Structure 1
Amino acid sequence: MAIEPSSPSRGANTWRRMRVWDLPTRLFHWLAVVLVAIAWLSQRMNWMQLHVRAGETLLALVLFRLLWGCWGSETARFSRFLASPAAAWRHLRHLARREPDVQVGHNAAGGWMVLCLLGLLFVETLSGLYVNNDVADEGPLSEIVPAALANAISAIHAYGWDVLAAAVVLHLCALAVYALVKGHNLVGPMVTGTKSLPAASRAPRRASLWLAALLLGCSALATALLAVYL
């Protein structure tokens, strides 16, 4: 269930800065932005070694985010921000309503956008391990699968990029709409980690940075095993 904003009926005019996004979540977000940009540029410039390294690093980060979504801080957990499709639709019906932003974490529609982007990144980076175009761009797993399957996965990797690019554009458009129409700044809190909320709102629980380091290490190890030994 999504984290519901606390009712501002008491002390509605009293607001305070509150930390809503932890450091691991913010670092994942902005590193993913940089790595996707590097992957796009390196593919266009045919810098395939850089492209592969960016993809493998991004896969490790996505694996970490999936684990963090299960055991991380409250606002990062899937169980806390994934609402029902009906709740997401009800939220989108009021998209044009200008109102104060009292949402502690992801809103009902934003949670599904996060899940969609993570799923696309996972498919794109994992399929990149299999890519083989019979010229020079062989993924580390391309030799252990039949040619027909490798070609099919290569097609998924190619078309998946187009779908991912469309999802990124949709995400950017949504950020602009929230800023211009609703007056909600969704980018600032992802930079600073804090946002202004009604004083009655409960601060979300944060998980340990040591746990984040452990999960990141496990994700990096899993990616290395996939890329080197399988």
Structure 2
Amino acid sequence: ILSETERLWRVGENNLTSGMEVNCDLDGTDRMGGFVGYESSLYSLIFGSNFRLWTSLVTKTGPLWGADFPIELREYGRKSEGMPCHYDRQMYRKLPLNWEVVVTLSHSPESKCHFIRLDENETEHSIWPAANSVTLVRPKSAVHCVTPTAGGRRDMLKVILTGDYRKGRIFQRFAHGQCSEENENRHLMRKRSEEMTRAFEDDREAPEL
């Protein structure tokens, strides 16, 4: 998975079927990333493994399957201010069978990036998501936030699992987003892709952007 995500950052928009499409809702500084092309091996690595079965057992909602909405690869970089408190939008019609799954791929030890969940009494519950950890969130239910990294970095995958493919009202809005050429997330992703490509061709490590 780590090898494939490194390749995705390098390829970027150069090949949308096996690279990434920019997420127009990200600003590139607090959050950078995009949607993974359908030819990426991430889909078989995530959906074709015991991970999907494990999630079905943990949620106790019956069989869950990989959604027909793309996986998102996202980074909270060293200058990230995190993400404000919110609940996730319901992309599929049947709420009990609609889950968003966050897989933390890497998280530098100096990072202060915490995942905070607010319960029904608005009491905060905070965790520091370590690499290879999984967070399950039901849309329109769990209010959550992400704190600033304070100089660290966190890479993650955002995956939707569902037991019912009938769409919610807002699905099409997010399925067909288009960014302008001036979009800052697009600009920073292209910059990273170019630098990583040069480093790959020169057989050296890319400088951090």
TM-score normalized by the length of structure 1: 0.27
Q: Which has the higher helix share?
A: 1
The answer to which structure, 1 or 2, has the higher relative contact order (CA under 8 A, 6+ apart) is 1
